[in-house]
């Protein structure tokens, strides 16, 4: 287990350039999906767009423009729509869990309910030319949009049974990962919370020993963008940052 302090709150941070290519419904943007265990935040830094969401209260469209900050909890289906050069800083709860599979795309129910079919639909080709990967991203996105449109239409008609079935399928898909997720959480979020509790206890005793262990850490964005569900991602390795100053600097 790493002893390097995690990013504040045990979160992760990513710079997102939302896809500008048109989707099957004519809008530009990302792939609708939900998270089963993590809350996600958007801090919009440039451009114009909207966040389409679906939850147990129905469908909603929220404008996104520079300065907007929104966040959404597990179970909120979300889709970033790009109306013009939309760039977002994404702050994600439980760093490590989303990267370990805490995202379920809204493929049609016959696919989401079958683990093997879901895995095949979600996978992108490895070691393939960029054009081939980009086409696979578009196909995956359009498949998820087709399922999303069906969910929205049902919700608009007052029928939330399809959304409930999606939730049940999502739980079944991620359930085999829970032991690994729990360890990631213990090594980051839980550890940081315990450390904060220890610090509060020390301060209450008048003990400031932890102040002498102060550190400066950094993690520049990855040079190469990768293909994400919502757009091109520049990630920051917040789980293994560089120690820029402090007692643990090598």
Predicted structure pTM score: 0.92
Taking only Cα atoms into account, the Rg of the chain, rounded to an integer number of angstroms, comes to 20
Residue 230's nearest CA partner among 2, 6, 20 is 20
| pLDDT tens per residue across span 195-246 | 999 999 999 999 999 999 999 999 888 888 889 999 999 988 887 888 888 8
Rounded-to-integer distance, Cα 184 and Cα 95, Å? 8
- CB contact set of 213 (below 8 Å; sequence gap of 6+): 246, 247
> Hey, what domains does the chain have and what are their CATH numbers?
9-205+221-239 (2.60.120.10)
pLDDT recorded at residue 220: 86
pLDDT recorded at residue 248: 60
Where is 130: in which H helix or E strand? Answer: helix 130-156
Rounded-to-integer distance, Cα 21 and Cα 16, Å? 15
Q: Transcribe 31-49 into DSSP letters.
A: --EE-SS--EEEEEEEEEE
Rounded-to-integer distance, Cα 247 and Cα 213, Å? 6
Backbone φ and ψ of 10, nearest 5°? 65, 25
- Low pLDDT (below 70) residues in the chain: 1-3, 248-250
Strand partners, 58: 55
Strand partners, 64: 49
Rounded-to-integer distance, Cα 20 and Cα 3, Å? 40
Q: Are 66 and 47 in contact (CB under 8 A)?
A: yes
Across all residues in the chain, what is the average pLDDT? 94
Burial of 82: CB neighbours in 10 Å, binned 0-12, 13-18, 19+? buried
pLDDT recorded at residue 221: 84
């Amino acid at each position: 287990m790493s002893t390097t302090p995690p990013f504040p709150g045990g979160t992760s941070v990513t710079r997102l350039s939302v896809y500008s290519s048109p989707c099957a419904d004519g809008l530009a943007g990302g792939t609708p999906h939900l998270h089963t265990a993590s809350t996600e935040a958007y801090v919009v830094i440039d451009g114009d767009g909207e966040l389409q969401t679906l939850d147990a209260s129905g469908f909603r469209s929220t404008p996104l423009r520079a300065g907007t900050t929104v966040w959404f909890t597990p179970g909120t289906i979300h889709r970033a729509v790009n109306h013009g050069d939309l760039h977002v800083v994404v702050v994600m709860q439980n760093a490590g869990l989303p990267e370990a599979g805490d995202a379920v795309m809204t493929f049609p129910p016959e696919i989401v309910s079958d683990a093997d079919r879901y895995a095949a639909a979600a996978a992108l080709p490895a070691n393939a030319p960029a054009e081939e990967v980009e086409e696979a991203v578009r196909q995956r996105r359009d498949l998820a949009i087709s399922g999303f449109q069906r969910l929205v239409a049902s919700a608009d008609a007052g029928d939330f049974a399809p959304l409930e079935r999606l939730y049940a399928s999502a739980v079944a898909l991620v359930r085999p990962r829970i032991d690994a997720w729990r360890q990631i959480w213990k090594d980051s979020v839980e550890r940081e919370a315990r450390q904060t509790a220890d610090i509060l206890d020390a301060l209450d005793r008048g003990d400031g020993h932890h102040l002498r262990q102060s550190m400066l850490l950094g993690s520049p964005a990855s040079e190469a963008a990768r293909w994400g569900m919502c757009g091109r991602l520049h990630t920051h390795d917040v789980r293994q940052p560089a120690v820029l100053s402090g007692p643990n600097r090598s």
